[in-house]
């Protein structure tokens, strides 16, 4: 089966708190490379692995991962709101395939997603409804988190199931790499915040605007060096990319949740989406990384990477 993978960091601060024009130009070139790669590959199905930031998944029930047979985006940080063009038949087939392979997969028939899903679809395809997609939520912020080996197993099972679909499948990862944005934490949260993280009351437009302004301000403080957030860790990020490039995916099984958070920040767990996507690609056969871009971009609170890979 023809298969490919693209990894793309997301940041809600893109366009709101941009770095110097030279940095932007380098990112634009890397994103253009990824777009050209995707055009040449001509996928007819995208399996999109992305996290959520307390817009769709809450502690009332927080699965480690969840596959959607239908999904709609909330439209946070200026991303598009509305339905994603989910390929429901393919989603059901992949869900069954993952369950058949021993993955205890949660399925959602009405998933709510945020910029983690919407941004890569907008950036790479021009909209959230432009390509048949199977959205797979991978928890990358809400602790407790399970071992990384289970994410690799998830990716591998979905990749094996996708190989039986007779489709041109692009596995797309959204998130990471090292970063420590001010995403709320349940442990120690004041009762009002804890209640929102557990129940998930939809914020009023004023509450959403206030929360988004807080993140933009955090990006400004981070870029100015006046922040207590864990710094972006280029060495850690490049180690991750090296393992992905070399196909050394089993290396991630020894990465612990605690060490990842300490070395690379509270949202570094978003790299689980990258590990899932590359495990899916690897499950279809040997692959080659065809382009690799990385830059630490504090203004976006992101160890920012864009990578393409294709089955040999
Ligand atoms: O507050 C949020 O919803 C998310 C913030 C954020 C900031 C920077 C990089 C990311 O991946 C984020 O999700
Ligand atoms: Fe994120």
pLDDT digits (tens, 9 = 90+) for 152-165: 999 999 999 999 99
The ligand that comes nearest to the alpha carbon of residue 76 is 1
Short-list 123, 99, 149, CA closest to 15: 123
- Closest residue to atom 12 of ligand 1, CA basis: 11
Among candidate residues 10, 115, 243, 269, the one labeled active-site is: 115
Q: Coil, strand or helix: which one is 223?
A: helix
Residue 201: predicted pLDDT: 87
Atom of ligand 1 nearest to the CA of 181: 7
- Asked if 284 and 308 touch (Cβ cutoff 8 Å), the reply is no
Mean pLDDT for the chain? Answer: 97
Half-sphere exposure of 191 (CA within 13 A, CB side): 0
Ligand 2 centroid – CA 51 distance (Å): 7
Ligand 1 centroid – CA 181 distance (Å): 6
Q: Coil, strand or helix: which one is 249?
A: helix
Atom of ligand 1 nearest to the CA of 215: 1
Which of 11, 54, 197, 266 maximizes ligand 1 atoms within 8 Å of its Cβ, making it the mutation to test the pocket? 11
Ligand 2 centroid – CA 199 distance (Å): 20
Q: Is the confidence metric ipTM above 0.90 for this complex?
A: yes
Distance CA 6, CA 305 (A): 10
Residue 206: predicted pLDDT: 94
Which one-letter DSSP state was computed for residue 189?
A: -
- Asked if 174 and 121 touch (Cβ cutoff 8 Å), the reply is no
Is 115 a catalytic site residue? yes
Is 179 a catalytic site residue? yes
**75 to 130, 205, 212: CA distances (angstroms):** 16, 11, 12
Residue 225: predicted pLDDT: 85
Residues of the chain below pLDDT 50: none
Q: Is 190 exposed, middle or buried (0-12, 13-18, 19+ CB in 10 A)?
A: exposed
Helices (H), ranges, the chain:
21-41, 88-100, 115-125, 148-162, 191-199, 205-224, 234-246, 257-264, 272-283
Residue 39: predicted pLDDT: 98
Distance CA 49, CA 298 (A): 24
Q: Is 100 exposed, middle or buried (0-12, 13-18, 19+ CB in 10 A)?
A: exposed
- Closest residue to atom 9 of ligand 1, CA basis: 11
Residue 94: predicted pLDDT: 98
Phi, psi of 61 (to 5 degrees): -145, 115
Short-list 1, 2, 24, 21, CA closest to 11: 24
Residue 93: predicted pLDDT: 98
């Amino acid at each position: 089966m023809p298969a490919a993978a693209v990894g793309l960091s997301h940041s809600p601060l893109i366009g709101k708190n941009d770095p110097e024009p030279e940095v932007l130009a380098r990112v634009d070139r890397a994103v253009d490379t990824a777009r050209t790669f995707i055009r040449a590959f001509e996928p007819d199905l995208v399996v999109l692995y992305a996290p959520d930031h307390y817009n769709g998944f809450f502690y009332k029930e927080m699965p480690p991962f969840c596959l959607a047979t239908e999904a709609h985006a909330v439209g946070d940080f200026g991303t598009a709101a509305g339905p994603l063009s989910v390929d429901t038949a393919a989603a059901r087939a992949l869900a069954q395939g993952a369950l058949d392979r021993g993955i205890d997969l949660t399925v959602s028939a009405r998933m709510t997603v945020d910029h983690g899903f919407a941004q890569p679809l907008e950036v790479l395809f021009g909209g959230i409804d432009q390509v048949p997609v199977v959205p797979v939520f991978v928890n990358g912020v809400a602790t407790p988190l399970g071992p990384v080996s289970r994410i690799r197993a998830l990716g591998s099972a979905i990749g094996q199931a996708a190989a039986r679909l007779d489709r041109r499948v692009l596995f797309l990862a959204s998130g990471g790499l090292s970063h420590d944005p001010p995403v709320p934490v349940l442990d120690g949260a004041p009762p009002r915040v804890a209640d929102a993280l557990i129940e998930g009351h939809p914020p009023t437009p004023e509450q959403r605007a206030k929360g988004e302004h807080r993140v933009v301000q955090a990006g400004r403080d981070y870029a100015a060096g006046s922040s207590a957030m864990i710094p972006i860790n280029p060495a850690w990020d490049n180690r991750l990319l090296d393992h992905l490039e070399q196909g050394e995916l089993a290396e991630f099984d020894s990465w612990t949740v605690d060490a990842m958070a300490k070395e690379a920040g509270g949202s570094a767990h978003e790299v689980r989406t990258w590990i899932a996507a590359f495990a899916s690609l690897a499950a279809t056969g040997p692959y080659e990384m065809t382009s690799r871009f990385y830059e630490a971009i504090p203004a976006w609170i992101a160890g920012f990477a864009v990578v393409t890979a294709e089955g040999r």
